[in-house]
Chains A and B, each alone.
Chain A
Amino acid sequence: MAGLRVGTAALVAAGRRLPRQLMRSAAPWALKTVPHYSKQRLTFSRSLGSVGYDPNEKTFDKILIANRGEIACRVIKTCKKMGIKTVAIHSDVDAGSVHVKMADEAVCVGPAPTSQSYLNMDAIMEAIKKTRAEAVHPGYGFLSENKEFARCLAAEDVTFIGPDTHAIQAMGDKIGSKLLAKEAKVNTIPGFDGVVKDADEAVRIAREIGYPVMIKASAGGGGKGMRIAWNDDETRDGFRFSSQEAASSFGDDRLLIEKFIDNPRHIEIQVLGDKHGNALWLNERECSIQRRNQKVVEEAPSIFLDPETRRVMGEQAVALARAVKYSSAGTVEFLVDSKKNFYFLEMNTRLQDPYKSFGLPSIGRLSQYQEPVHLPGVRVDSGIQPGSDISIYYDPMISKLITYGSDRNEALKRMEHALDNYVIRGVTHNIALLREVIINSRFVKGDISTKFLSDVYPDGFKGHTLTKTERSQLLAIASSLFVASQLRAQRFQEHSRVPVIKPDVSTWELSVRLNDEDHSVTASSSGSVFSVEVDGSKLNVTSTWNLASPLLSVSVDGSPRTVQCLSREAGGNMSIQFLGTVYKLRVLTKFAAELNKFMLEKVAEDTSSILRSPMPGVVVAVSVKPGDVVAEGQEICVIEAMKMQNSMAAGKTGKVKSVRCKAGDTVGEGDLLVELE
């Protein structure tokens, strides 16, 4: 599991509700000729604001959701509320996933790779015909902005729940959308877009705009392949790379050179449009906390905008929506500089995709999973459940956590608490990072930009840094847990003919190791209260000390903490999630710790550097070649035997010296397969 991550993005939403008149104006728009999908939108907006839908309104009977995971679940949930039947599509590996279980019907559209399943238009069209779905909800990603798909649906007279192809096309192209925006009098970043003849021309353009400038392929999405130039030389480099990429990746030579806005904030306005030319805006979300241009934390409303800026931004967003006859929910993204100048970035012609994943793909099995939905003001959108496999094929984003509050402070406090109460075991996740971000003083003040994470964690995020008080609290909690489990180990239902005589220990002298430092701790218990002295300072720790529960509510000197004990071994090793970060500790009695000093430092274990076949079989696949560096536990090859596939893993981290088998080989028991250096 090493090195794997799951993005758990979080939205902090404060209490500002949608303006009443706005919602009223939305109501007539929602009715009449396009009732089906506008209702869908309205329900979505209800989750943002406060509008219900009219249960007498006509709806689709059945829709197909061409997506998976969290968004598919969210759409299905809404459909259920509205009495609409749902059809899920899935790849073969997703057959047991949550969205499939939730839907009324499910159709397998191909094997795991997305190109053969969730992007497989033929199979999806087939599924639509088979199930007689009247409309398709694309969710976000996958086919949501695919004009070809929209066209296929139109040909079959199936409604695409989303903007029409014109809008998708108009906004799908970076340069085109910017021109449109300019025409609609939307602020745009000064720049040039089109075919740049050579490096000299690129330099001329850059000088005209004024440094710094940003160069990228017009057809590339998001921040992909984006290069920033501060001078002529860098412009030449940027031109070379970007034009190569434009030609090779997109088959489209056009480049975008524009003013680079230093330390910008990323703020976006949600818009709704209908087929009668009505359009409105629904306030903003601030998405400045990003990692590799993927959103990590969102907040609404933005702490930065004043009502006037908000209004102008909203009006421009609506102007753009009108310009493209936008008839769906969409998002207009803006970059905002420190002087509240804002520039149109792009428009997403789809349902908001607020929390895209980040980090490395995380794979593994969710051995335990518990959402903090029992807490007030918390919403979780996820498409997973205990036992779900996070597969290598799809977006590693597993859930979105949203908290509300009557003010910003309350929303943030609830987010903190919700993150502490979120149980995710078996795969790595980014709860520690999320929690650090929302308590960071710069974030709390609202002093953020899209560079926040790289500024605050220039060497990468390494977990929470404990203050002295926090450290004492953690040591006291760990010690109390240790003693609680030691005391529990003496509580037997007596059946034995030799009676149990419990040891008469009132005070426990302990030595706790944390971050290579030993701390002296004395603990004594009376009932559920432990009096703990850590490095000389006294603390009272109270809890139920339920050793089975994944969550433990603890009160340390009156301040409430929720901790998670991830593991507790007989040898005294523990890992405890405290303030979002997982800490490894070793608790020993003082006596054991004294004796432990005589133990030899563990020498690096000499795990076998050769991999042999454990049984006769056929090699199905070999995933390494000589010279490759493999990590311990990484799959080296697969052997089929007993009609079963056995994954053979590296016994240690190292370089592959030689590979003695190839796919299709028949191997005997003990045959050498791969040698590591």
Chain B
Amino acid sequence: MAAALRVVAAGARLSVVASGLRAAIRSLCSQPVSVDERIENKRRAALLGGGQRRIDAQHQRGKLTARERISLLLDPGSFVESDMFVEHRCADFGMAADKNKFPGDSVVTGRGRINGRLVYIFSQDFTVFGGSLSGAHAQKICKIMDQAITVGAPVIGLNDSGGARIQEGVESLAGYADIFLDTSYLFITGPDVVKSVTNEDVTQEELGGAKTHTTMSGVAHRAFENDVDALCNLREFFNYLPLSSQDPAPVRECHDPSDRLVPELDTIVPLESTKAYDMLDIIHSVIDERDFFEIMPNYAKNLVIGFGRMNGRTVGIVGNQPKVASGCLDINSSVKGARFVRFCDAFNIPLITFVDVPGFLPGTAQEYGGIIRHGAKLLYAFAEATVPKVTVITRKAYGGAYDVMSSKHLLGDTNYAWPTAEIAVMGAKGAVEIIFKGHEDVAAAQREYIEKFANPFPAAVRGFVDDIIRPSSTRARICRDLDVLASKKVQRPWRKHANIPL
């Protein structure tokens, strides 16, 4: 308390001193160190965080310091720091000692710009008490968050902390958390606790490494090679997002003609309906400049999600991936998709859905795991979304999974079918086996079923698709639709919040 008072007093004195006389006055002062020098010293100390030795240790681990990360992420010279002088207030266990005080404490906060766009940022400093969360640390983060909300700018959190409590809160605010491959771990309880409670032997990497969280748990959305790669990609990713939920999806200068025809799509769907193809090929050739920022590329790979641009405007893309598990929907892909759809809807990002789905994955594992409950999340998310929704059925759209994939019935704005589309309750073989059980001429029945249902017409005559389009015209059609849908407004009756089936 006394220390704090002294700072205020010193500050007051400074304000009345004319700058030209400062040196003279300093020499007359009885204090051993002038206020200016103390300010300088504190700033210098803050810039060094936990000190050179700890910075070197951080580098040796292949990690950057909190400040280096900020400098790399933000436009050069744009960082404006706040709370550089904040120190922790803990007095127990000798923490009050000067050697345990670090100006700025274990987090660096402030604001800056990425490609000219405003962003608030906090970056935990592992060199100060392992980046652990103190009261002061939390207070600093809350301060910039409050400011960000008042001006309508986002917050980016760069986490590097031994303390686990902060993560949950941060993640919800930052929207997406990026963790770095090989140098990062994320878990609720560490390997030692796991061993003592469940008797499992597990390493940090296995329990909460980048690979675990990007391929198995779905906790992290992307993993990168290292800090530099991650931060460069974060700059790229940031450009896809609006600054706040009050802003429309950003439109960046685009060199790719919006009416570009894509002849390669006319042959992409194989003639045999059992043969797989890569949905990413379709996505890449439709969006601007083949530039696709995929989210969760290694988790539930039977559903592809990510951001792209159409005529410069950010869009969210959801597509079944026929290459993986035939593109069917299962628990993990449903949850992955649902989260993404809601993210896009929350931030006014139009949704483009490419459908080739043979159904929900059958089996006890899925049923016991609650596929109905989880599948409903994706259905709910699409139904609830009020952003422009354009859907393209490339091949299979079977059964309940067809409904779920941003169908007309979930209020898709524009729903297209390619000539190869088959919109039906199920595939011909399965259907015939049920309808004509024990029947003599199954082959003929199957042919009849294919003739009747394995094409886009039944859906088109009922208006479930708005048009049957040539695949090569897909990009031009979507760009045109998005221009029209830019002014889309949906009024929903007031409610406290929607009740997604969690």
Contacts and interface: CB of A to CB of B under 8 A. Distances in A.
A155 interface: no
B217 interface: no
A599 B276 contact: no
A669 B365 contact: yes
Interface in A351-409: 365-369, 385-389
Nearest to B68: A595
Contact of B243 (A496, A501, A547): A496
Contact of B289 (A388, A547, A571, A592): A547
B40 to A, nearest CB: 24
Best-surrounded residue of B63, B75, B262 (most CB of chain A within 10 A): B75
A547 to B, nearest CB: 5
A591 interface: yes
Nearest to B363: A616
Best-surrounded residue of A596, A598, A640 (most CB of chain B within 10 A): A598
B116 A502 contact: yes
Contacts of A599: 62, 225-229
Given A500-B117, A595-B72, A641-B326, A570 B235 contact: yes
A104 B264 CA distance: 22
Interface stretch (A207-215, A275-283, A487-495, A525-533): A487-495
A615 to B, nearest CB: 5
A497 interface: yes
Contacts of A445: none
Contact of A489 (B248, B252, B274, B359): B252
B267 A490 contact: no
A387 B270 CA distance: 11
B42 interface: no
A643 interface: yes
Interface stretch (B4-12, B280-288, B489-497): B280-288
Nearest to B277: A365
Interface string B22-40: 0000000000000000000
A513 B224 CA distance: 19
Contacts of A647: 276, 323
B256 A367 contact: no
Contacts, number: 185
Contact of B251 (A96, A495, A572, A614): A495
A588 B237 CA distance: 17
Contact of B117 (A387, A498, A505, A640): A498
Contact of A365 (B228, B281, B328, B363): B281
Interface in A592-617: 592, 595-596, 598-600, 602-603, 614-616
Interface in B181-206: 182-183
B152 A498 contact: yes
A588 B256 CA distance: 25
Contact of B359 (A365, A615, A642): A642
A2 interface: no
A95 interface: yes
B325 interface: yes
B462 interface: no
Interface in A504-547: 504-505, 546-547
Given A570-B232, A669-B365, A503 B76 contact: yes
B394 to A, nearest CB: 14
A645 interface: yes
B231 to A, nearest CB: 8
Classify chain A: how many residues form its interface, as a range: 35 or more
Interface string B241-271: 0111011101111111100001111111001
Contact of B274 (A490, A547, A571, A645): A645
Contacts of A595: 64, 68, 72, 227-228
Contact of B248 (A386, A495, A572, A644): A495
Contacts of B64: 595, 598
A643 B358 contact: yes
A602 B248 CA distance: 39
A92 interface: yes
A496 B247 CA distance: 5
A649 to B, nearest CB: 10
A548 B256 contact: yes
Interface in A622-675: 640-647, 669
A549 interface: yes
Interface string B310-324: 001000000000111
Given A495-B247, A669-B365, A368 B264 contact: yes
Contacts of A640: 274
Nearest to A544: B255
B389 to A, nearest CB: 20
B113 A501 contact: yes
Contact of A503 (B72, B113, B151): B113
B325 A614 contact: yes
13 contacts: A366-B264, A387-B265, A488-B252, A491-B253, A492-B251, A495-B251, A497-B247, A500-B117, A504-B77, A547-B289, A571-B232, A591-B76, A641-B326
Given A501-B116, A602-B225, A646-B325, 18 more contacts: A96-B267, A492-B117, A492-B251, A496-B244, A501-B113, A548-B289, A570-B235, A571-B232, A595-B64, A598-B227, A599-B225, A599-B226, A600-B183, A602-B226, A614-B325, A643-B274, A646-B276, A646-B326
